[in-house]
C-alpha cells in the first residue's frame, strides 16, 4: 500500500468505524452521505457531524446537503461549511428533477466554499462542473465509477478522460467513488486518479494484497469442507 500514490478516503457513517479509520495513517480523508447515515440509524445530522468533527480536525471530511431545492441547498451548504476548515460540502450534480446544480456550484465555489460535487457519471456532467468551479478554491469531483461498472461499462476510460478535464482546475481533485472491489484501488492508482472512497468492507480486504494464491485456494477448499461438516450434510 505504501507504493500507492492515490489517496484513500474512508466512506461511512458509523462513528466508531469512522474514528477507527481516521486513526489509520493510510486513510487521508473521510466521506459520508445521507444514505449511509440512515443505515447507521442517525437522526440528528448536525449533532452527529459535530461529534465526529470534535475528533477529526486534521483530515478532510465531506458532509452532504439533503434538500432538493437549490435555495435551501445553498443555506445548508453554508451552514455545513461553517463547521470546520477541513469540511467539504457535498452537492449532488442535479436535484431529483434532473435540474443541474452548476449555478449553485459556481456561486458556492466562488464564495470560497470547498465542495465535493457528487453522483456524477457522464463526462458532460464533469465538464460542466469543472467549468463552474473556482480555480482558486480546493474542490473534489466525485464520479461513481462503481455504479458505472454496474451497468456493464468499463469505468477506466471514462475516469481517464475525466482526469484530463479536471486538470483545467489545479486545485480540483478527482474521486473514484463507489468502488466494488479492492482491485479498483489499484486501477484508480494506475491511471493517476487523485482519490478513491472506500468502505470498511473493502478496507478489511487490505490484508489480502499480494496474498499467495495457492494458500488462498487451499483456504477456500477448507472453508467449503468445514462448512459442509458443520452443516452435517449426509447422503
The pLDDT, as a whole number, for residue 181 is 95
What percent helix, strand, coil does the chain show, rounded to 5? 45, 20, 35
Please identify every stretch of the chain with a pLDDT value under 50, giving residue numbers as ranges.
none
C-alpha count within 13 angstroms, C-beta hemisphere, residue 191: 21
The pLDDT, as a whole number, for residue 22 is 95
The pLDDT, as a whole number, for residue 111 is 98
User: Where do runs of H (alpha helix) occur along 31-154?
Assistant: 34-39, 45-53, 70-81, 102-110, 123-132, 145-150
Architecture category of domain 7-210 in CATH = Alpha-Beta Barrel (3.20)
The pLDDT, as a whole number, for residue 2 is 64
The pLDDT, as a whole number, for residue 60 is 98
Number of C-beta neighbours around residue 103 at 10 A: 11
Q: Which residues are catalytic?
A: 90
C-alpha cell, 125: 456532467
Do residues 114 and 139 touch, judged by C-beta distance below 8 A? yes
Residues whose CB is less than 8 angstroms from the CB of residue 82 and which lie 6 or more positions away in sequence, other chains included: none
The pLDDT, as a whole number, for residue 207 is 87
C-alpha cell, 83: 463547521
Do residues 149 and 180 touch, judged by C-beta distance below 8 A? yes
H or E element that contains 159: helix 155-166
Read off φ and ψ for residue 221, nearest 5 degrees.
-60, -45
C-alpha cell, 196: 478513491
The pLDDT, as a whole number, for residue 161 is 98
The pLDDT, as a whole number, for residue 204 is 85
Do residues 175 and 116 touch, judged by C-beta distance below 8 A? yes
**pTM for the structure as a whole:** 0.94
Number of C-beta neighbours around residue 105 at 10 A: 24
The pLDDT, as a whole number, for residue 193 is 98
- Which sequence spans correspond to the domains of the chain? 7-210
Give residue-wise pLDDT tens across range 169-221.
999 999 999 999 999 999 999 999 999 999 888 988 988 999 999 999 999 99
Amino acid at each position: 500500500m505504501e507504493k500507492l500514490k492515490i489517496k484513500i478516503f474512508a466512506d461511512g457513517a458509523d462513528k466508531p468505524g469512522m474514528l477507527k479509520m481516521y486513526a489509520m495513517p493510510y486513510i487521508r480523508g473521510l466521506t459520508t452521505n445521507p444514505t449511509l447515515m440512515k443505515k447507521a440509524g442517525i437522526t440528528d445530522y448536525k449533532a452527529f457531524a459535530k461529534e465526529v468533527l470534535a475528533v477529526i480536525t486534521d483530515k478532510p471530511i465531506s458532509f452532504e446537503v439533503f434538500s432538493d431545492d437549490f435555495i435551501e441547498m445553498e443555506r445548508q451548504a453554508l451552514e455545513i461549511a461553517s463547521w470546520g476548515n477541513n469540511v467539504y460540502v457535498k452537492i449532488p450534480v442535479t436535484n431529483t428533477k434532473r435540474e443541474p446544480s452548476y449555478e449553485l456550484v459556481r456561486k458556492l465555489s466562488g464564495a470560497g466554499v470547498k465542495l465535493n460535487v457528487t453522483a456524477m457519471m457522464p463526462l458532460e456532467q464533469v465538464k460542466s462542473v469543472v467549468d463552474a468551479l473556482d480555480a482558486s478554491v480546493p474542490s473534489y469531483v466525485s464520479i461513481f465509477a462503481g455504479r458505472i461498472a454496474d451497468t456493464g461499462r468499463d469505468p477506466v476510460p471514462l475516469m481517464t478522460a475525466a482526469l484530463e478535464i479536471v486538470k483545467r482546475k489545479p486545485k480540483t481533485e478527482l474521486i473514484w467513488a463507489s468502488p466494488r472491489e479492492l482491485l479498483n484501488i489499484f486501477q484508480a492508482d494506475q491511471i493517476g486518479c487523485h482519490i478513491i472512497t472506500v468502505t470498511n468492507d473493502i478496507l478489511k480486504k487490505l490484508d489480502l494484497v499480494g496474498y499467495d494464491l495457492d494458500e488462498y485456494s487451499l483456504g477456500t477448499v477448507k472453508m467449503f469442507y468445514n462448512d459442509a461438516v458443520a452443516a452435517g450434510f449426509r447422503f
